């Protein structure tokens, strides 16, 4: 049964990812892959948020800001020319920290290499997440939601009002991230299929790692805190530290997705940090069933893809608000939960019949 579920959790998404690419390419709709790639990066954000919301019982209303924090850090570092003495340039370039790249006008300039920028983005996010999470997660209740909401609003306004971050235009001309010639993380058309598989590989890897995490000592501690924080503390669980770890992991995933998406798009704008973006992530996690990671993956992949294809038109944000209200009202466990129950019931039905037959015979 457990094996069956593991197969269903990983084999089905892998097959779906391959089938989508095959279909889209065969139907001459290769451009679908661009939106599907972006959807995968948003899935990474929502999976991380599902760890926080569904397992640690905390809400972040600032995950858009963490996505933007990662994206902007990488965008700034990989586009702004550095002025280094030749010796420093030689050393750092040998370490792979800097490289010479052409800017939008084709002028070669010295910039931070994408892997180093990625590391810097994660370090900065780590520091910010600790700063926001540490004071609020020591308390009980939804202080994290308030703190992250405030943090998100600040990040959005700062990005929007600061010329250094490109103000309303954001940052453009972000170079691709070349993985040693074999693969380049970028939005060029001839790299579309590879980028699609890279993004979905990242999303499925996130699913796998988080699934392992919630089935461990750490996952049990989180579930214990979620069910009964007092009892968890009395059992020796450092509740504040566990909640903080879950929040940091979740923020780092959002930032990593932001870095990847920025290199893929070749830029990032302030709307990524907007409160509506953050609320959208919360709605997607709710639509997937909170802690139900495969459910969150399916719901957020489907809905973000439709949104990116402009299926909801001008009602885009309203649709996600409506989803949030509908889920909370009618299916707090997530709309996929009744479906899962039905499937489990179907699986249990056959052994139950056999059992009944055996009893009848005896």
Chain contacts with other proteins (rule: CB under 8 A): 209-210, 212-213, 216-221, 223-224, 226-228, 230-239, 245, 249
Query: Shortest approach of other proteins to residue 162 CB, angstroms?
Result: 34
Identify the CA nearest to 251 among candidates 120, 123, 115.
123
For residue 333, the minimal CB distance to other proteins (Å) is 11
CA 17 → CA 77, 201, 239, 285, 298, distances in Å? 32, 9, 38, 20, 11
Residues in contact with 158: Cβ distance below 8 Å, sequence separation at least 6, in sequence order: 165
Query: In terms of residues, how long is the chain?
Result: 362
Q: Determine which helix (DSSP H) or strand (DSSP E) holds 119, and give its type and residue range.
A: helix 114-137
Query: Which lies closer to other proteins via its Cβ, residue 268 or residue 290?
Result: 290
Quote the radius of gyration of the chain (alpha carbons, Å): 22
Calculate helix-pair angle for 192-214, 217-227, nearest 10 degrees.
Answer: 70
Closer by beta carbon to other proteins, 252 or else 273:
252
Smaller CB separation from other proteins, 98 or 221: 221
Nearer to other proteins, 233 or 302 (CB): 233
CB closer to other proteins, 137 vs 279: 137
For residue 102, the minimal CB distance to other proteins (Å) is: 38
Nearest-angstrom CA–CA distance, 362 and 359? 5
Name 111's bridge partners.
Answer: 99
């Amino acid at each position: 049964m457990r094996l069956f579920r593991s197969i269903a959790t990983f084999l089905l998404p892998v097959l779906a990812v391959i089938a989508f690419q095959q279909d889209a390419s065969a139907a001459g709709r290769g451009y679908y892959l661009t939106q599907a790639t972006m959807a995968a990066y948003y899935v990474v954000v929502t999976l991380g948020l599902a760890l926080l919301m569904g397992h640690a019982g905390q809400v972040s209303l600032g995950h858009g800001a963490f996505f933007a924090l990662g994206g902007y850090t990488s965008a700034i570092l990989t586009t702004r020319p550095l002025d280094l003495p030749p010796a420093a340039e030689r050393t750092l370039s040998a370490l792979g920290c800097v490289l010479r790249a052409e800017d939008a006008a084709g002028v070669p300039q010295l910039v931070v290499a994408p892997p180093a920028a990625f590391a810097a983005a994660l370090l900065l996010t780590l520091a910010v997440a600790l700063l926001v999470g540490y004071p609020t997660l020591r308390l009980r209740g939804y202080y994290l939601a308030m703190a992250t909401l405030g943090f998100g609003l600040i990040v959005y306004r700062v990005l929007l009002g600061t010329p250094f971050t490109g103000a309303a235009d954001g940052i453009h001309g972000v170079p691709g991230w070349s993985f040693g010639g074999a693969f380049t993380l970028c939005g060029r058309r001839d790299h579309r299929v590879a980028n699609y598989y890279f993004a979905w590989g990242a999303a499925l890897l996130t699913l796998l790692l988080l699934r392992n995490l919630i089935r461990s000592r750490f996952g049990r501690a989180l579930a214990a805190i979620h069910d009964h924080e007092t009892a968890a503390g009395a059992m020796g669980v450092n509740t504040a530290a566990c909640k903080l770890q879950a929040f940091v992991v979740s923020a780092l995933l959002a930032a990593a997705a932001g870095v990847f998406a920025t290199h893929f798009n070749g830029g990032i704008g302030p709307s990524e940090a907007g409160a509506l973006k953050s609320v959208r992530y919360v709605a997607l996690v709710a639509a997937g069933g909170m802690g139900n990671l495969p459910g969150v993956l399916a719901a957020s992949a489907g809905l973000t893809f439709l949104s990116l294809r402009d299926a909801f038109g001008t009602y885009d944000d309203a649709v996600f608000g409506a989803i949030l209200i509908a889920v909370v009202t009618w299916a707090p466990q997530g709309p996929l939960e009744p479906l899962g129950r039905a499937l489990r019931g179907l699986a249990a039905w056959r052994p139950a019949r056999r059992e009944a037959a055996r009893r009848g015979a005896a």
